Structure 1
């Protein structure tokens, strides 16, 4: 579960959004309130807030988001318990508050609005409110056996690691078995393995490198592996061709039927590789190889 929190001044508008019937909003938490609609609740907040006119952002807005899988199984009673525990952890149980559950887009989440001003006119300290909300949500998730934000993050990292590995393995297979002789061939062979290679072209119409789109992930070559940066990819492909990747006049190449320039780094890497090949051929001839 992920928890987010901030201080706001637009209480009425936010309350109206929370109590949005189009999102099938349900009231799951209510504390020290009597109103039956957003206007009445906002007015009750305002009466208390008038005791502290110096505080402009006088309402606390929280969003509690269980994972999609956890949210499917949470009942109204469990969402009430979840919200109560979170509010208690934030030490806001004695403040006016109301919470609405939204079940739109198959992602159950709770919007909670709490009066930042207490009944004695004191403003709740909102320093690091975002971080504190995260920690409170993390603790509540653990107590209730829900997936925590850290676990969600670790799952994402594991997924990214697997995606990077699959892209790199496919890249190595293409380089070994297909031995593409230019960028177009490389892109074609990778596409045959369901990996879309997208040229990264800057505003000067210069090729800087490539991005790899695979299973919903879009990564720069260097993010997949340092050996897959634009310059290193160019060198690998150049090694597969007798002529190498030879830029045309003005450091341009043909890519997908279009003429584009090369970034300075890419042009320099290709030029060095071409020079090495020339030197090698010269030396080979000189010693009779």
Structure 2
């Protein structure tokens, strides 16, 4: 089971994509939903946006997760099983399925079973669902679900599976050497991101991370400042060099070191340290959001007072 996580801006575009109203031949089928209508993309997006309005300053409120399973699991992963997996995935990601808007839609346009989970990052209480370290957390949740449901372990397939399913869309469209190189670099970045999702949360230092990545054909190159602090990290696979920040902000040298340092200081499991870093970031963003809302309210108050005065 592989989960591809993205954070987007438009519920309108996302709902149109998952419901595939203009291309019904793709076989989009709503398996489950909470807090949103599913009769049309317009209604679904409107319901999402109504709750999103409680956090007007949140630019990217759309959490989109594509959950895919190997072809061999096609008979096992029924619609009913997919619905339960989506529910368990939300709970594993610390998202309350009863207090958050979400919808899960299965597509039939591929040979392998897959579904799309759309989640509102503003819950029904108006609180923001954190997206910090969301990709690494998703990997852990997928691994847990694999064990719970007895599914094929995606990490055992890894890069081999990616190569077997053929070129990426970008690689297929490439017509010039420059485009081919760019597409191959993008695939390497995806592979590196997948590998980091399985390894970064289990390491306590850059040396440990380097050793964990080498069996996967990935090298780690670290540069440091004069004071010894990490300045930058680059990952290399098949000659393609990718900066940590290009994989994801959680994989920049500074953020990686923060997670390692917390684990070393507290003597705890690295994954817990990374989770704490995410919680700290979420609290800081929440405080920032509250301050922004307060400033906006203060700015709007004179206009409201003036309007009320005119009515009198």
Please name the residue that 2:32 is paired with.
Answer: 29
Residue 154 to residue 40, structure 1, CA distance change in 2 (3 Å)? closer
Higher gyration radius (CA) = 1
Q: In the alignment, does 2:140 pair up with 1:140?
A: no
Deviations 1:102-153 (A, max 9, x none): 1212121010100110112111110111221222112111100111221222
Alignment match of 1:106 (pick from 111, 124, 129): 111
The 5-angstrom pairing of residues 142-161 of structure 1 reads 142-153=147-158
Aligned residue for 1:22, secondary structure, equals helix
Residue 14 to residue 84, structure 1, CA distance change in 2 (3 Å)? same
Please name the residue that 2:136 is paired with.
Answer: 131
- Structure having the higher helix fraction is 2
Please name the residue that 1:3 is paired with.
Answer: 3
**Cα distance in structure 2, aligned partners of 1:127 and 1:67:** 28
**More divergent stretch after superposition (38-47 vs 99-108):** 99-108
**Cα distance in structure 1, aligned partners of 2:109 and 2:38:** 25
Residue 69 to residue 45, structure 1, CA distance change in 2 (3 Å)? same
Aligned residue for 1:114, secondary structure, equals strand
Aligned residue for 2:74, secondary structure, equals helix
Computed over aligned residues only, the root mean square deviation of the Cα atoms, in angstroms, reads: 2.3
Q: In the alignment, does 2:60 pair up with 1:57?
A: yes
The 5-angstrom pairing of residues 1-289 of structure 1 reads 1-20=1-20, 21-92=24-95, 93=97, 94-153=99-158
Offset of residue 100 of structure 1: 0.5
**Cα distance in structure 2, aligned partners of 1:133 and 1:6:** 11
- Structure having the higher strand fraction is 1
**Cα distance in structure 2, aligned partners of 1:144 and 1:3:** 15
Q: Which runs of 5+ in 2 are unaligned?
A: 165-176, 179-216, 218-312
Aligned residue for 1:104, secondary structure, equals coil
Give the paired residue count: 161
Quick check: 1:71–1:109 contact (8 Å CA) kept in 2?
A: no
Deviations 1:163-200 (A, max 9, x none): xxxxxxxxxxxxxxxxxxxxxxxxxxxxxxxxxxxxxx
Deviations 1:44-74 (A, max 9, x none): 0111011101100011000100111113432
**Cα distance in structure 2, aligned partners of 1:88 and 1:34:** 22
Quick check: 2:30–2:38 contact (8 Å CA) kept in 1?
A: no
Q: Which runs of 5+ in 1 are unaligned?
A: 160-201, 204-222, 224-289
Aligned residue for 1:126, secondary structure, equals coil
Deviations 1:2-60 (A, max 9, x none): 01212110211111111112310111121122342111010001110111011000110
**Cα distance in structure 1, aligned partners of 2:37 and 2:43:** 8
Quick check: 2:35–2:47 contact (8 Å CA) kept in 1?
A: no
Aligned residue for 1:137, secondary structure, equals helix
